[in-house]
């Protein structure tokens, strides 16, 4: 099989993985979710800077889930993708991969990790700070027992699921079909996330002064030797979108050699400000 066919299959596989993961999150996460991030770990692992990228994106939630999964015999390398949701200080998620719920259950029994019944599912709390419940043989949800109960109730239709949140769903539909890392935020999560994302471009400006005028934010990142980033900032008004575009243009034109950003394009459509940029990746 030639390289072009392999690349095509990898792209198709990544797109299918993302679609399945996002669909799972839409029906599992509660509608109160304010931030959602999808990380294609199987693709990120091929990058030289994987360790830095993993700590940057999945960070603590993945570390806690990894410890819990290891207690059931599931290694981190068996996890292909993870979707993390947050609501205020609460963090929870869904992971998919090449593991098996049946084998994990047998491992749990051997180590006397007995499941508890929550709604119509078995929940394992192996003492690693996070509990687990398998949604499919290859898909597991993680969080506190209370969070997992809410997620299971969302799947059963007993509480409102994320697919009822029209603002987040509309932003999801506008994301590119493929992306190693993709995220969406609204509400209280938007300001620190947008300020951090724009600060990381290396452009010298205090973005916290303006991000209070952004009501929603999405990002999609492809990576090879560089990070290719697409952002959509939904501003509170067309005037604010235009102002941000002009500031970015001025800063981009006068950026210093130390700035991480290598290319910056921006456009506005009403309240929407779209950004496309290339930045350097961290080096091991």
Question: pLDDT tens-digit profile of 64-98?
Answer: 888 899 999 999 899 999 999 988 888 999 999 99
Q: What are phi and psi of 6, to 5 degrees?
A: -65, -45
Angle at 140 between CA 178 and CA 122, to 5 degrees: 160
Q: Which residues, 6 or more positions from 38, have their beta carbon under 8 angstroms from its beta carbon?
A: 18, 21, 22, 25, 81, 82, 83, 179, 181, 182, 183
Exposed/middle/buried for residue 133 (C-beta within 10 Å: 0-12, 13-18, 19+): buried
Question: Are 232 and 174 a contacting pair, CB within 8 Å?
Answer: yes
For tokens 């935020």, what's the residue? Answer: 185
pLDDT of residue 195: 67
Sheet arrangement for strand 90-97: 131-136, 139-143, 90-97, 79-87, 35-40, 181-186, 214-223, 226-235, 272-280, 261-269
Task: Kindly provide the residue ranges of all beta strands, DSSP E only, lying in 71-189, ordered along the sequence.
Answer: 79-87, 90-97, 116-118, 121-123, 131-136, 139-143, 181-186
pLDDT of residue 271: 93
pLDDT of residue 29: 95
Q: Choose among 57, 30, 38: nearest CA to 178.
A: 38
Q: Choose among 69, 70, 65, 72: nearest CA to 108.
A: 72
pLDDT of residue 96: 92
* Average pLDDT along the chain, 284 residues, taken 10 residues at a time: 42 52 85 90 78 60 83 91 89 93 93 90 88 94 95 94 85 82 80 68 65 85 85 90 84 54 85 87 60
For tokens 């080096």, what's the residue? Answer: 283
Task: Kindly provide the residue ranges of all beta strands, DSSP E only, lying in the chain, ordered along the sequence.
Answer: 35-40, 79-87, 90-97, 116-118, 121-123, 131-136, 139-143, 181-186, 214-223, 226-235, 261-269, 272-280
Question: Are 237 and 208 a contacting pair, CB within 8 Å?
Answer: no
DSSP three-state, residue 199: helix
pLDDT of residue 58: 56
């Amino acid at each position: 099989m030639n390289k072009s066919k392999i690349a095509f299959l990898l792209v198709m596989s990544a797109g299918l993985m993302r679609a399945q993961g996002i669909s799972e999150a839409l029906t599992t996460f509660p509608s109160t979710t304010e931030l959602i991030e999808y990380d294609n770990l199987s693709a990120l692992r091929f990058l030289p800077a994987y360790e830095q990228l993993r700590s940057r994106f999945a960070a603590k939630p993945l570390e806690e889930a990894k410890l819990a999964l290891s207690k059931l015999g599931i290694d981190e390398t068996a996890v292909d993708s993870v979707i993390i949701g947050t609501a205020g200080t609460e963090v929870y998620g869904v992971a998919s991969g090449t593991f098996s719920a049946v084998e994990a259950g047998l491992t749990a029994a051997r180590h006397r990790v007995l499941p508890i019944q929550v709604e119509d599912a078995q929940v394992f709390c192996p003492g690693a700070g996070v509990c687990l419940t398998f949604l499919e043989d290859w898909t597991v949800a993680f969080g506190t027992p209370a969070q997992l109960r809410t997620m299971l109730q969302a799947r059963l239709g007993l509480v409102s699921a994320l697919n009822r949140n029209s603002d987040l769903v509309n932003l999801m539909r506008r994301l590119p079909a493929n992306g190693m890392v993709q995220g969406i935020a609204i509400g209280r999560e938007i300001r620190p996330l947008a300020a951090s994302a724009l600060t990381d471009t290396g452009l010298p400006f205090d973005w916290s002064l303006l991000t209070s005028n952004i009501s929603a934010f999405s990002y999609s990142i492809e990576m090879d030797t560089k990070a290719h980033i697409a952002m959509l900032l939904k501003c509170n008004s067309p005037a604010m979108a235009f102002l941000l575009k002009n500031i970015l243009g001025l800063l981009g034109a006068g950026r210093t050699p130390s700035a991480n950003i290598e290319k910056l394009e921006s456009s506005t459509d009403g309240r929407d400000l779209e950004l496309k940029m290339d930045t350097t990746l961290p080096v091991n």
